[in-house]
Chains A and B, each alone.
Chain A
């Protein structure tokens, strides 16, 4: 199939970028979106042009690297699908496709489609963990977990930290990401001791990093490749407000 691509090109963090048009004449519909970009890059390299920089790693939908907004939708038109798992058969011959980087103050563009998403690491560092004593491993089933909590925690744990939720959110908020972490750890017995301070510190960190405030618009859940439900944000809110009322402190 023939495609016209309009891709955001930006030399580095300090220069201004713009959309640049490219034509591809021979795109196979069984290619993934990233393979299509590989083809474009080979062409650019042969033409002595700078190839388009984009993040990718696993190419199997589990690492969360392949961040790009395709026709205004993070990871493109296919529900519950990362860019690397999106196939060109979801587009038609002759389509024009716009490709842009995540847009958020907290995710500055480094080059072309590559953004610095270390802000998510900072949110994790502020509370996305459980503290365990070192020493010999405890017995495997020493801490009982009911089936529903285990399942829900596991579902929340499927968040791959891709940042699509932030990219889609009209408020530029990372609530769905933070909520997924708070849900994952807060549902398990091992996560209880730090539950209140975790919620409040992770939220404070995301506020501090200039992510926006959530207004429950739901764009995040629509684009999340892992189907993290919008209602998980309610659990985060619950823990934050509980901790606010009780005056939980981490020091």
Chain B
């Protein structure tokens, strides 16, 4: 028989569903992060002091045990590991899909939702966005005000309309990725059923839209002068 692997890591990584489950778990980790991040960002509407205090708080959180910025680094390491695993599984399944259909159709009429069919390129766009985003607002490398505090960097960045629009476009991509990714993760982990299908999809789309709006409202507010 086919199955002789005793090791849970090779057993999991060795099957297409195992790889998918790694994507689901890492995807849920991103989702939890993204929601927390969004709620944190919304503090921008309570003024510069609150926002900078929040940025500082992230670094002093749990400092008695893990040192200054310790918790933040733990989160970063978990997220980086998740990104690497998520990407490795995505590219492996992508390669598998290419291999599975060496000759394509002459007449193409794609089935399935738009969000589902754009997971791969959408994911790549999100990754590129995340890299730019870190260089912009975390390290300040591509920010007009690299020495500024969190609040100043954010306002300086979104004062460039091209950048603000890029952020908004990336949030639309993220919204699509989550709209499919969330229900897909539940399906992958075995939690879906024919009865649950519609409500689960509706819930995922709602989460995707709420997240996109929750993030995009900030560059929009800077563009329209609500946040200075």
Contact = CB atoms under 8 A, between A and B. Distances in A.
A72 B107 contact: yes
B21 interface: yes
Contacts of A237: 17, 20-21, 187-190
Contact of B17 (A104, A105, A240): A240
B101 A105 contact: yes
B28 to A, nearest CB: 14
B116 to A, nearest CB: 4
Contacts of B186: 234
A249 interface: yes
A51 interface: no
A218 B113 contact: yes
Interface string B105-146: 111111111001101000000000000000000000000000
B-side interface size class: 35 or more
B184 interface: yes
A219 interface: yes
Nearest to A173: B100
Interface string A195-208: 00100110111011
Interface stretch (B4-12, B33-41, B55-63): B4-12
Contacts of B107: 69, 71-72, 98, 100
B103 interface: yes
A218 B111 CA distance: 7
Contact of A216 (B11, B184, B190): B184
A19 B99 contact: no
Interface stretch (A22-30, A31-39, A40-48, A224-232): A224-232
B161 to A, nearest CB: 35
Interface string A101-116: 0011110000000000
B106 A250 contact: no
Interface in A48-97: 69, 71-73
A204 to B, nearest CB: 4
Given A103-B105, A207-B16, A247 B8 contact: yes
Nearest to A71: B107
Nearest to A69: B105
Given A100-B105, A100-B107, A216-B187, A222 B112 contact: yes
A245 B8 CA distance: 7
Contacts of A204: 2-3, 15
B19 interface: yes
A11 interface: no
B65 interface: no
Interface string B81-116: 000000000000100110111111111111111001
A201 B1 contact: yes
Given A105-B100, A105-B101, A126-B2, A234 B12 contact: no
5 contacts: A171-B97, A212-B97, A213-B17, A237-B20, A237-B187
A-B pairs with the 9 shortest C-beta distances? A238-B190, A72-B109, A172-B100, A213-B16, A219-B111, A212-B100, A250-B1, A234-B192, A217-B112
Interface of B: 1-4, 6, 8, 11-12, 15-21, 93, 96-97, 99-113, 116-117, 119, 180, 183-184, 186-194, 196-197
Given A98-B106, A100-B106, 8 more contacts: A105-B101, A172-B100, A212-B97, A217-B117, A218-B113, A234-B187, A244-B18, A249-B4
